[in-house]
Amino acid sequence: MGLSSIFGGGSPSQQQETLIPNDNSNVKTQLKNQISQELAVANATELVNKVTENCFEKCLSAPYSIGQDGCVDQCLAKYMRSWNTISQAYIARIQQASADGDI
Amino acid sequence: MSGVTPNDLQDLDDISKKEVMSFLQAEHSKQKVQMSIHQFTNMCFKQCISSINNAELSSQEDLCLKNCVNRFLDTNIRVVQSLKNIQ
Tell me what ipTM this predicted complex has: 0.88
pLDDT of residue A74: 97
Inter-CA distances, B3 with A29, A31, A49, B8, B69, Å:
10, 8, 28, 9, 40
Mean pLDDT across chain A: 86
Residue B54 at interface with chain A, using a CB cutoff of 8 Å: yes
Listed by start position, the domains of chain A span 25-100
CA distances from B36 to A67, B3, B4 (A): 31, 30, 30
Who contacts A91 (Cβ-Cβ below 8 Å, separation ≥6)? B33
Give yes or no for B2 touching A (CB within 8 A).
no
The answer to whether the Cβ–Cβ distance between B69 and A93 falls below 8 Å is yes
User: What residue spans define the domains of chain B?
Assistant: 9-86
User: Would you say domain B9-86 falls under CATH 1.10.287.810?
Assistant: yes
| Res. A17 pLDDT band, cuts 50 70 90 | very low
Give the CATH number of domain A25-100.
Answer: 1.10.287.810
3-state secondary structure at position A38: helix
Task: Give which of A40, A39, A51 is closest to A78, Cα–Cα.
Answer: A51
pLDDT, averaged per 10 consecutive residues of chain B (87 residues), comes to: 76 88 96 98 97 95 98 97 92
